Amino acid sequence: MSKFSKYQIATAVAIIFHVIGIMGILFYDTQSFINATPINLLLSFALLIWTEEDRNKYFWIFLLITVSAGFFVEVVGVNTGALFGDYGYGDALGYRYLNVPVIIGLNWFIIIYCSGISLNIFLVKLINKLASESNTPPKRLKMISVIVDGATVAVLMDMVIEPAAIKMGLWKWGGDGSVPMYNYVCWFLFSILLLTIFQFCNFKKQNKFAVNLLLIQAMFFLILRTFMK
């Protein structure tokens, strides 16, 4: 029997847990499975740590900054409305401090890390080709692409998550309940900042599971936003 890689094991575990979540939310005890969202986040976070091959000090610095900064901007956003808009969190994400679930920083890390890794993996060949055609140093072109395109991926991921998260009661928006464009502008600008830190932190950025998890989570929320009442 062939030996499975860490990436394959982690992907299988993530798929199983997300499928269980979909089935539970759509067909069984909806609220109980929604309340288990922090468990899913913690599992995804743990699997990303486990599959990262280069857990050096720079990786931990990036992780700490992203988790802390993600929580901080949410505190500012929820309590002042100066960032993202008028919104508030429900109880499904667990314990809240300063009106923000303490686990929300992990969500920021998962999205930023997976977006950055995905761009690093898929754009290498394309960037080398473009660099040779434009006489631009590949390293500089890659950095710009990962930061800007990665931020775009992060915003697209938030757009996918929002309708399902609102239906699940993870958070809600003020006014007529619609998501303001200002939210996505803030997501883009803050993602650029975090992905800049990501690029300057010197650790190996080739975690294939991060790409798989990004796709798994996108499918998870697309299915819920489509079929959840």
Residue 133 structure tokens: 């055609």
Q: Is the pLDDT of residue 1 over 50?
A: no
Q: Does position 29 have pLDDT exceeding 50, yes or no?
A: yes
pLDDT tens digits along 205-217: 999 999 999 999 9
For residues 161-167, give the mean pLDDT. Answer: 96
State the average pLDDT over residues 55-67. 97
CA dihedral 185, 189, 187, 114 (to 10 degrees): 140
Report DSSP state, residue 5.
P
State yes or no: pLDDT of 136 exceeds 60: no
Q: Closest by alpha carbon to 190, among 90, 56, 65, 52?
A: 65
pTM exceeds 0.75, yes or no: yes
As a whole-number percent, the residues of the chain with pLDDT over 90 amount to 84
122: number of Cβ within 10 Å: 12
Residue 122: the pLDDT is 81
